[in-house]
Amino acid sequence: MGPTVVHSTLLFDGQTVHENATVVFDSNTGKITSVSTGSSNNLPSGATAIDGSAHTLLPGLIESHAHVHGLHLSPGADQFDILRSPLRSGVTTVCDMHSDPATVNKWREEIAADLAKAKSSNGTVSLSDLKSSLYGATIEGGWPKPIVLGHDPSDELKAFVSTWPKVTVESAAEFVKDHKAQGADYIKLMQENCCSLALPTGEIPVATLDLQTAVVEAAHAAGLPVVGHALSVDMTEVILQAGADGLTHTFIDQPPPQSIIDLYKQTGAFVIPTLTVLSSLTAELQETREKFAEIASRRKIVDGFTKQNMVETISMKDPAAKLEYAFQTVVKLKQEGIDVVAGTDAVAGLKGTAIGPSLWMELELYVEKCGMSILEALNCATALPAKRFGFGDRGIVAAGKRADLVLVKGNVTESLQALWEGEGIVGVWKEGIRAA
């Protein structure tokens, strides 16, 4: 191990494109040493040199909404691909948005062991890095109970769900304090009345504005960002009024009202659209799902079970809900200067998703359905999430940042599909160490 040099490459640094770039990084420190353009001299002796001609180098992608638990898998199913598949897809950081602390800690231990083994044996890494909210701020009987129990309402799973937090206004500060002590990177709110879903509105208890405000105030006092789940306009309004930093979905129950656009602007909140999971929820874009399932399988990123799972759908929408409303909202928010951060709500075993390949689909939808430029879409999955979540060490290719990098054959800045078509991704590094 030691220094690596990628030279003569097209570089997207997370914000800007640079031609004929040279990036030097070190696996011992895990950091980028230098970034330059033009002819490079005085490169480290003994460095591994990689000719980046006809390639694009970009920051490791950030999946800003996923879940790393295995609750949607059959008991005893292999869960190793939960963080292996994203790394093979160029996703070096996965943001978990509601998993139990035991599962998150298990992954953290495996990630550390994976990295230590690679360093000691001059080997490769296999697992993406992980950020997590740990448990969301769930309430008694509230969301996401229906979606978790929907596929397997076993007594064992019901007992597990009963152990989720039951946050109240009075316990909000203690909830945040406990989560920060356990290593939560941000706090997740749950705001769901089921009006966009194939469930009776009011089927489950709904968190109050007072409760969500109490959680947000406690989290901000503790220095933690706050994001919130909502699938409808009225629930989105509650999250925004509570002062959250971002929404972990956009809504599908109606076209975007100007009042919500204005509220986004007033609060400065961002949105993680999760168009991939919304398309599964509404059972739309079947051909797109099939395309990415086939690509992921052909590249040996997913197994047979996951390939089949990717082409199935949740199909759980209210009759009035439409994916088109989500597209319209993303277009409008982007036009109004609201930050759009890439995330999919992918979960192992959740129909229509796969952590890693689903982010490719998400980015394509931003370009094809929401009018974003390719550079805007790439920014949504690199520098922008790092900025909005406060991950100051990643998301940008610059000296001193983590050497989380992806090398792609072709010009990704002109053809987003180069990420997955042709030779596609030919190299991934996490903290300067090559991925398996």
Which residue do the tokens 């500060």 mark?
173
Question: Do residues 434 and 125 make contact, with C-beta atoms less than 8 angstroms apart?
Answer: yes
Residue 129: closest CA among 110, 111, 117: 111
Classified by CATH at the fold level, domain 61-394 comes out as TIM Barrel (3.20.20)
Residues 293, 306: Cα–Cα separation, whole Å = 8
For 266, residues 6+ apart whose C-beta sits below 8 A from its C-beta are none
Domain 1-59+396-436: CATH superfamily, name plus number? Urease, subunit C, domain 1 (2.30.40.10)
The CA–CA distances, whole Å, from 170 to 98, 221, 423 equal 22, 16, 55
Residues 301, 289: Cα–Cα separation, whole Å = 15
Residues 34, 400: Cα–Cα separation, whole Å = 8
Residues 203, 180: Cα–Cα separation, whole Å = 31
Kindly state the DSSP code that residue 232 receives in the 8-state scheme: S
Which residue do the tokens 């920014």 mark?
379
Q: What angle do CA 84, 85, 88 make, to 5 degrees?
A: 90
Helix spans in 336-382 (H): 357-368, 374-380
Residue 141 CB neighbours (<10 A)? 15
Q: Report residue 404 CA to chain centroid gap.
A: 15
Residues 426, 65: Cα–Cα separation, whole Å = 25
Residues 318, 215: Cα–Cα separation, whole Å = 29
Which residue do the tokens 């596929």 mark?
151
Q: What is the pLDDT of residue 75?
A: 76
Q: What is the pLDDT of residue 335?
A: 97
Residue 188: closest CA among 160, 163, 221, 165: 165
Question: Do residues 314 and 274 make contact, with C-beta atoms less than 8 angstroms apart?
Answer: no
Q: How many CA atoms lie within 13 A of 247 on its CB side?
A: 35
Residues 219, 226: Cα–Cα separation, whole Å = 7
Q: What is the pLDDT of residue 43?
A: 77
Q: What is the pLDDT of residue 153?
A: 79
Q: What is the pLDDT of residue 254?
A: 97
Block means of pLDDT (10 residues each) for the chain, 436 residues, are: 92 98 96 90 84 98 97 83 97 98 97 97 97 98 86 82 95 98 98 93 92 98 98 98 98 98 98 98 98 98 96 96 98 98 97 98 98 98 98 98 98 98 98 97
Q: What is the pLDDT of residue 1?
A: 73
Strand partners, 66: 96, 346
User: Where do the domains of the chain lie?
Assistant: 1-59+396-436, 61-394
Strands 405-409 and 48-51, bridge-based pairing: unpaired
Residue 258 is encoded by which pair of tokens? 């100007």
Coil, strand or helix: which one is 134? Answer: coil
Q: What is the pLDDT of residue 220?
A: 98
Strands 91-96 and 61-67, bridge-based pairing: parallel
- pTM for this entry: 0.97
Residue 89: closest CA among 360, 307, 309, 402: 360
